[in-house]
Structure formats: structure tokens, C-alpha cells
Amino acid sequence: MTYQSQLTELRGMIEKIEYYKYTTDALIYWDKITYMPRNAIEYRSKVMSFLAGEQYRLLSDTRFQKLIRFFKGNAKNDFVTNAMIRRLIRNSESIRAVPEAEYQKYVQLIAVSEQVWAEAKEKNDFSYFRPYLDRIFKTFRNFAEYWGYEKDPYDALLGYYAEELTTETIDTMAAQLKPVLIELLNLVEEKNKTGSAPKKIDIGPVSREQQQAVWTMILEKIGFNFDSGRVDIGSHPTILANSPDDIRVVNTFSENGFWGGILNILHCGGRGVYKQSISRELMGTLLAESPTFAVEEAIGRFYENIIGRSKGFWQYIYEPLTDILPQLKTYTPQDLFEAVNHAQPSLIRLEADELTYLLHIIIRYELEKDLISGALDVDDLPDAWSSKYEEYLGIRPEHDGEGVLQDIHWAAGYVGFFPSYFMANVTAAQMAAVMAQEIGDLDQLMQQQSFDKINDWLTQNIYCYGAVYSGRELMEKVCRGTFSSTYYIDYLRNKYSEVYKLF
């Protein structure tokens, strides 16, 4: 067979893998968290397990593996083909390293555990979810051994979501950031206690219809294409991509959750804009997606925080926002900017302000690492969680719902994922600094209604490439050098100095 005929054969196999992957991970999962009836979970979990098994078999197929070996390092490969083979090897090795029967049991466990988690959260009862979480962490300890690591088993789980990221790197950056975050929080709390802090604005209740109108307006203003996507209400804010032309944004609704709804829609919608902007030529290569979760999360953090908590953004959306919610005309864009940047310790990660958010992530990272190493038992997790919240944020959960049960991640199998949030915040700040140097002040661009210039820069530097570059290669290319926590520290100091007049 010729080189081209084998490449055509391989691309055909990859297309089948994509059909299974995106159907299971996006379309079926989207339905599961939005419209699926509660009693459908048992059969749905079997369907998801079956489809995952089919994907496993395709990746493990003898002919498929032979073709990968043929193209690995082949001198005739172009840049995209080399990237495709590299990603195939990474994906297939991570799945094939796990015995097929164990992998299918894992998929079925996760499908059921999410439903159990939701019920446990509703009841504020960790004991209901505990046996499932215990099985999940035991499974991931096994996965770490299957995937391999040099120093720490947690590194194997980190590497699944962010290539080349290590526990040592996170520990170093956390040690740099934690004292700065706590110092700024203490200064902010002094202002809050003395009454000299900016005014906190409680907006609500706001109806479902009004909030959805606001979400739609914001998505349109940041460039989300509704001909290639939609937004629905579900159990957890997320974004699910079937292809660049089929992006599902999911947000949560609460009558009194105006601020959270906006920030979540910016985060998920920004990631949606990313997915919609990936080159269609990469379909059928497994490259029509972000290279790592950390990269995609950095984009989400950019839209949510760098954009959504900026002065320019509230000037940018002020007129259409007050058309939908006329009661907001009593506030100026400056008032809304200061209100969205109000900071104080909170128990819920998704409700955390930008200043305290990383402390929530550091807590989860430290607990997760101890659960994997065996230093912490699942039975002791609620107490360990509460103690760390008291130590870092000065507050303690009253029940499991506002403590250890608040996140879906572990129930959904995202063990090792929280550090991606950590790196995303750091990366977003550095990326924004580079962007401002090259296209001008971002606040001014939004004030001038020139948001397309921001998206154009992101498309040219990040979006169009999909996963052609590795996560580290892409971010170093975008950030014009290696990562540094300095940009994030400077960003927070400048932001909260302005809002709270700290220095």
C-alpha cells in the first residue's frame, strides 16, 4: 500500500473514533446533565459503557496500531500528520494501558456516581456518596500505576490533563502565590470590616427568562455563533463540543445568582468561541480540540476574569444589559465593575471571587494529592476539607453540601484536574499582558466596541491550531516565553489596589 492510501485508511479509522468520542463525551453527556429523566441513569450508564468499550477497541485494534507505528517518525509526514500521530499515541497509550474490562467498569462507575453525587449533595450527606468516591480514588491509584510516573503517582494524573505538568511545578508556584493571596485577602478584609470597601450590589431575584436573555446577549457580544451552538440550563456549568459547528454551553440558574450566571456564561461561552474557531480542516485528525484541559481552561479564565471583571467590559455591555434589566440603570458601569470585584472569603468555589479562587483550588489540590498518596482516607475527607477552609479562608462549612460535596469533578472522574484551574489563572494573566502589548489596552478596545480585535488575536495565536501543538508548546508560543507567576501576582495587586485602594 502507498503512503497516501495508508493515510486515508488511518484517517477513516480516526473518524470512527471521533464519532464515538464526541457522541459519548459531548452529546450523550450533554443530555445527561440537561434533559435526561432521573430514572434513565441505569440504562444510560450501560450505553455509555458500551460506547466507551467500542472506542477502546478501535484504539487497541491491531491494524490501527500498525498504522500508527508506520507513520511514527515517517519522513513523508507533514507537520499536521506528525501532530496527529503524537496525539494518537498519547491518547491510545493512556487508554490501552488500562485493562479493557477495568476501563469499562470505570466508565459505568462514573456514569452512576454522578447521579449519586447529585442526590448526596441535595441531602447534604457525604456518607451516601462516600463508597463511590472511595472506589473512584482506588481506580485512579491503579490508573497512576498503569500510566507510570517518575517521582509522584499524582504526576501521572496531572499529565493526563496537562502534558509535562508536575507536582513539583504546582508546589513551587503555590508556595509563591499562597502568601500573596492571603496578604491581599487580609488587606481587603480590613477594608470590608471598616466599611471603606466598594459597594456590594445584590441583584435579584432575576427571572429565568431575563437571565437567559442576558446570557444570550453576552455570548453574542463575545463572538459566540448561535448557528453553531446553543445554551441550556443544567446541573453544572460546562461546555461540550461535538464539533466546531456543534457547541453546547450549559449554565446553572438561580433567581439570586445573577453575578455567578454572568461569570459562568463568560467562562463557558469563551471556551465555546475557542471551539468554534478551530480549523475545520482538523476534523478527522483528533486535533480539532484544545491540546489540553489546562489550555482550554486558560481561555475560560481569560473571558471570565480578565474580560468579565474588567472596567471596559461593563462599559461594553452596559447599554444592552440595562435594556434587558432597566433596574440596573441606577448603577454606573463603574459601580458594576467594583461590585463584580468585591472580595471576601466564601465556602463555594463557583461563587468565589477572583482573589480567593486560587485558595479554593490549592485546598482541593492538597487534599487530592493526599488521597492519591494514601496520606488521607476518604472517610476523613470532610473533616480535612473543613480544617483547610478554616486555615486558609477563616471559615468552616456547616454541612457537606457547602463543603466536600460542592464539586462534580471527582464524581465525574476528573481526578488530577484541579491544578489545570491553577495553571489556567496564571496563564491567562500572562497571555493578557502579551495581548495588550501587541494590540493595545483591552479596556480601551472594549470601550471602542472593538471586541473582534481580541478574538482575532486569540484565533490567530491559539484557536486555529487546535491541538497541532502540545499544550506547553502552544502556551510558550503565545506567552512569548516560559510561564511565570509574576504576571498573575502583578495583575491581582493592580486590580485590588484599584478597586479597594489598598496601597
- Give the tens place of pLDDT for each residue, 352-362: 999 999 999 99
Summarize the confidence of residues 264-293 as an average pLDDT: 96
503 pLDDT more than 80:
no
CA atoms of 429 and 173, how far apart (whole Å): 14
Summarize the confidence of residues 193-208 as an average pLDDT: 88
CB within 8 Å of 407: residues ≥ 6 apart: 349, 364
Instruction: Identify the pLDDT of residue 93.
Output: 84
Summarize the confidence of residues 5-23 as an average pLDDT: 94
Instruction: Identify the pLDDT of residue 432.
Output: 97
Summarize the confidence of residues 262-287 as an average pLDDT: 96
CA atoms of 384 and 94, how far apart (whole Å): 31
Summarize the confidence of residues 106-117 as an average pLDDT: 92
- The CATH class of 167-201+289-500 is mainly alpha
Instruction: Identify the pLDDT of residue 274.
Output: 98
CA atoms of 62 and 64, how far apart (whole Å): 5
Query: Position 166: which residue type?
Result: T
Show binding-site residues. 267, 297
Instruction: Identify the pLDDT of residue 248.
Output: 96
CA atoms of 484 and 455, how far apart (whole Å): 24
Q: Give the pLDDT band (50/70/90) at residue 308.
A: very high
pLDDT digits (tens, 9 = 90+) for 128-142: 999 999 999 999 999
In the β-sheet with 229-233, what is the strand arrangement from edge to edge?
229-233, 246-251, 238-243
Question: Residue 159 in contact with residue 165, Cβ under 8 Å?
Answer: yes
Summarize the confidence of residues 425-448 as an average pLDDT: 96
Instruction: Identify the pLDDT of residue 48.
Output: 87
pLDDT digits (tens, 9 = 90+) for 51-106: 888 888 898 899 999 999 999 999 999 999 999 999 999 888 888 899 989 988 99
Q: Give the pLDDT band (50/70/90) at residue 14.
A: very high
Question: Residue 140 in contact with residue 102, Cβ under 8 Å?
Answer: no
Averaged pLDDT of the chain = 94
Q: Which helix (H) or strand (E) holds 313?
A: helix 311-324
Residue (of 409, 446, 208, 223) closest to 319 by Cα position? 446
Instruction: Identify the pLDDT of residue 350.
Output: 82
CB within 8 Å of 302: residues ≥ 6 apart: 270, 428, 431, 432
Question: Residue 386 in contact with residue 403, Cβ under 8 Å?
Answer: yes
347 pLDDT more than 90:
yes
Alpha helices, H only, 2-99: 3-22, 29-34, 41-60, 62-71, 79-96
CA atoms of 181 and 186, how far apart (whole Å): 9
Residues of the chain with pLDDT > 70: what percent?
100
Instruction: Identify the pLDDT of residue 207.
Output: 96
CA atoms of 396 and 363, how far apart (whole Å): 13
Instruction: Identify the pLDDT of residue 290.
Output: 95
Query: Position 359: which residue type?
Result: L
Show binding-site residues for Zn(2+). 267, 297
Beta bridge partners of 229: 247
Query: Position 107: which residue type?
Result: V
Cis peptide before 382 (omega within 30 of 0): no
Chain-centroid distance, C-alpha 249: 13
Question: Residue 162 in contact with residue 293, Cβ under 8 Å?
Answer: yes
Residues of the chain with pLDDT > 90: what percent?
81
Instruction: Identify the pLDDT of residue 351.
Output: 83
pLDDT digits (tens, 9 = 90+) for 213-254: 999 999 999 999 999 999 999 988 899 999 999 999 999 999
Determine how many CB atoms are found less than 10 A away from the CB of residue 386: 18
CA atoms of 86 and 377, how far apart (whole Å): 37
Residue 191: helix, strand or coil by DSSP? helix
417 pLDDT more than 90:
yes
168 pLDDT more than 80:
yes
Summarize the confidence of residues 318-329 as an average pLDDT: 97
Instruction: Identify the pLDDT of residue 74.
Output: 96
Residue (of 139, 173, 143) closest to 157 by Cα position? 143
